[in-house]
Amino acid sequence: METKTSVVTKKEIQDVLLDMGVPENLIGSMYLTHALELVLDNPRSMTKLVDGLYVDIGKRFNVKSTSVERCMRHAINATWKRGNVPYINTMFRYCLSPQKDVPTNSQFITRLYYYFTNE
């Protein structure tokens, strides 16, 4: 399976997160950026978030995997409360309501993975 890793840059990932309204001052924003880099490089890493992706990110930033999960969740929740609703609706194609449904970390990462690979 060929991925577009070489095409998607860290800056492009950060730009999309910022356009959505992910607060850049939250550590979860940095973890989400790194998670997307890892997932774009190896899509199978999406299948094992807790035992794989969170652990890898934790090792990279010298924190526990539970902290990675919590910080990502906080960044996603903040985005859903105060983010760019029209852009979020475009990204999630109206499958989740910014006023009601907050995606799980897995849903968020998976949706952005598909966004970048289908662009």
Q: Which fold has domain 10-118?
A: Arc Repressor Mutant, subunit A (1.10.10)
Q: How far apart are CA 105 and CA 49, in angstroms?
A: 9
Residue 58 exposure: Cα atoms within 13 Å on the Cβ side: 16
Band of the pLDDT at 118, cuts 50, 70, 90? confident
Percent of the chain with pLDDT strictly greater than 90 = 64
**DSSP state, residue 25:** T
Domain map (residue ranges) of the chain: 10-118
Q: How far apart are CA 62 and CA 80, in angstroms?
A: 27
Compute CA 49 distance to the chain's CA centroid, rounded to the nearest angstrom.
12
Q: How far apart are CA 111 and CA 118, in angstroms?
A: 11
| Residue pair 116/36 in contact by the 8 Å Cβ criterion | yes
pLDDT in tens, 1-29: 344 445 799 999 999 999 999 999 999 99
pLDDT in tens, 74-98: 999 999 889 998 898 888 876 665 5
Decide: pTM greater than 0.75.
yes
